[in-house]
Amino acid sequence: MSGHSDSSKKRVLTRRTVEKWIVENDKELDTTIWLKYEMVPGDRKHVSALKCGVCIQFNDRLISLRNYNPAFVNGSKNTRTSAFKEHADMDMHARAMLLYKKQHSTNVCEYAPIAKAILQPSMDESTRLKLKRKFEIAYMMVKENLAFKKMKPLCDMEERHGVEIGASYRNDIGCASFVESIATDLKGDLKYKIAKAKFFSLLIDSSTDCANVDEELFLVLYFDPYSGSEDGTVHVRDKFFAVRHLARGTGEGLYICVKKTLAYMGVTPLEWQCKMIGLGCDGTNANIGSRNGLKGYLTEDIPWLIVSWCLAHRLELSVKDALKDTFFKEIDELLLQVYYVYEKSPKKCHELKEIVDNLKQCLTDTEMPTKGGTRPLRASGTRFIAHKVSALARLVDRYGAYLSHLITLSQDTAVKSLDRQKLKGYVLKWRKSKVLLGCALFHDVLKPLGILSKVLQEDELCIVRAIEAMVKTTKMFG
């Protein structure tokens, strides 16, 4: 026996025994994956504790479970055979193994209970059909941005329409499992395609989610000669790649985020450093700075990387720049002010509509305002040009109506005195013909650019079409 001095017979466990257990129980309990042991210090033969590698890995996510037991996380001194078998039977271990399989699998059928159920040969056709219907409902729900909670009412409605839908998975939790299964399957498919592709490019942009957290969005662009139709057509695919949390919006932060995202999608550094050929992004310094921007970091790994600044975004910025110190500033202010006069005031909107309707009665057909509402449009937004063009068009169209309404309001004693003063100021300014002419001028200048911007935002845009559209627009300006 070992050097224990106490006389009570202590069981000792040898390394050979544990290794035998691991092999013998692997088929049933996957012991090669999780059963680990610790040796008695300074002893090459005896085992001091048994551990579960998988429970250790996912400990953070198990600790809140009701019957959590830290024995196999910290190392169990109980060296009976029954000890590790009991651990294998525990809820926490089952949960940990599920997490482990998820992490190591691209095939949803290996761990998702729903997918497993569907593939069971014993499942009858009608049950399979009911499950399929619920899969379709869940898919539609995420596509339409509906809350998972709507799963139940939607299923209830289907049933009222005579569709057999079955009793299981008809709630938000069910919906979440369907969606997770679908997502994993799509992800696995995309991973496989990227692995087969010889080259790919990434398109990225950041945004904030509903919790106001920064997220980086990734699309992947790759050549896909395999899934074309039988007539031999091939495709360049533009697919959703991932959304990942962006910890810092700096060049370095973006670089870390890109690397993590590629790893998450199963693309190894060796692979992307050979295959990645392009990066599409907007023109912020964090993206395209050649020293401290993402571009700078990535070109160190990939010297041939082509970084392209989104054309539509570039156009927007150059127009903004070109108009900076011009009369446009005043027109832009006007757009905002007239919008705020009517924002949140149903009464004013109603009065305005009456004025427009009255005008229609005394105008000839050609002088009639064109179609559309009467309210001033909001002129600011992410798509600068498009917003300005439609707001200016509406303003020029209804200028007379707006002005006469503002004059009435500025004289109406029911309006607060302070507001009346403000409105009087607007009227004085906007009465000048220069202002109306300015609106019309900028509308005419921006309209062709708006069309160009739309072309540059097309899904199927290629460089030839972009150049053609640019030449056409330049010609319009003579």
Site for Zn ion, rule CB under 5 A: 52, 55, 93
DSSP 253-292: HHHHHHHHHHHHTT--HHHHHHHEEEEEE---HHHH-TTT
Would you state the torsion angle of the CA atoms of residues 319, 324, 330, 334, taken in this order, to the nearest 10 degrees? 40
Minimum Å gap between C-beta 114 and Zn ion is 24
Closest CA to 15 of 374, 5, 33, 35: 35
Least Å distance between CB 117 and Zn ion?
Answer: 25
- For residues 112 and 119, give the distance between their C-alpha atoms in angstroms, rounded to a whole number: 11
CB of 173 to Zn ion, least distance (A): 24
Q: Which is nearer to Zn ion, 52 or 182 (CB)?
A: 52
Q: Are 41 and 62 in contact (CB under 8 A)?
A: no
Residue 129 CB, shortest distance to Zn ion, in Å, is 37
Nearer to Zn ion, 93 or 313 (CB): 93
| Cβ at position 98, least distance to Zn ion in Å | 11
Minimum Å distance from CB 71 to Zn ion? 10
Shortest gap between Cβ of 230 and Zn ion (angstroms)?
49
Query: Quick one: 62 or 377, whose CB is closer to Zn ion?
Result: 62
How far apart (Å, rounded) are the C-alpha atoms in residues 118 and 127?
9
**Measured from the CB atom, is 87 or 295 closer to Zn ion?**
87
What Rg do the C-alpha atoms of the chain give, in angstroms? 33
Query: What is the SS3 assignment for 151?
Result: helix
Report residue 462: phi and psi, to 5°. Answer: -120, 170
**How many Å from the N-terminal Cα to the C-terminal Cα in the chain?**
100
* 329-364 core/surface letters (b: 16 or more CB in 10 A; e: else): eebbebbebbbebbeeeeebbebbeebbeebeeeee
Task: Between 65 and 140, name the residue whose CB sits nearer to Zn ion.
Answer: 65
In DSSP notation, 20-61 reads: HHHHHTHHHH-HHHHEEEEEPTT-SSEEEEEEEHHHHHTHHH
The residue among 49 and 52 lying less far from Zn ion, judged by its C-beta, is 52
Comparing every residue's Cβ against Zn ion, the nearest one is 52
Of residues 89 and 354, the one with the C-beta less far from Zn ion: 89
Residue 92 or 393 with smaller CB distance to Zn ion: 92
- Contact partners, residue 429, CB within 8 Å, separation at least 6: 334, 435
* Cβ closest to Zn ion, residue 54 vs residue 401: 54
Kindly state the smallest distance separating residue 63's Cβ from Zn ion, in Å.
13
Other C-beta atoms lying within 10 Å of the C-beta of residue 169: 23
The least distance separating Zn ion from the CB of residue 27, rounded to whole angstroms, comes to 17
Distance CA 279, CA 259 (A): 13
Where would I find the H helices in 144-268? 151-160, 172-196, 251-264
Q: Using the minimum distance from each CB to Zn ion, give the nearer residue, 53 or 400.
A: 53
- Joined together, the tokens standing for residue 338 give 């007239």
User: Among 165, 100, 76, which residue's Cα sits nearest to residue 127?
Assistant: 165
Cβ of residue 262: shortest distance to Zn ion, in angstroms?
Answer: 30
Q: Which is nearer to Zn ion, 86 or 185 (CB)?
A: 86
Residues 176, 182, 185: CA angle, nearest 5 degrees:
140
For the CB of residue 93, give the shortest distance to Zn ion in the complex, in Å. 3
Report the 10 Å Cβ neighbour count for 208: 10
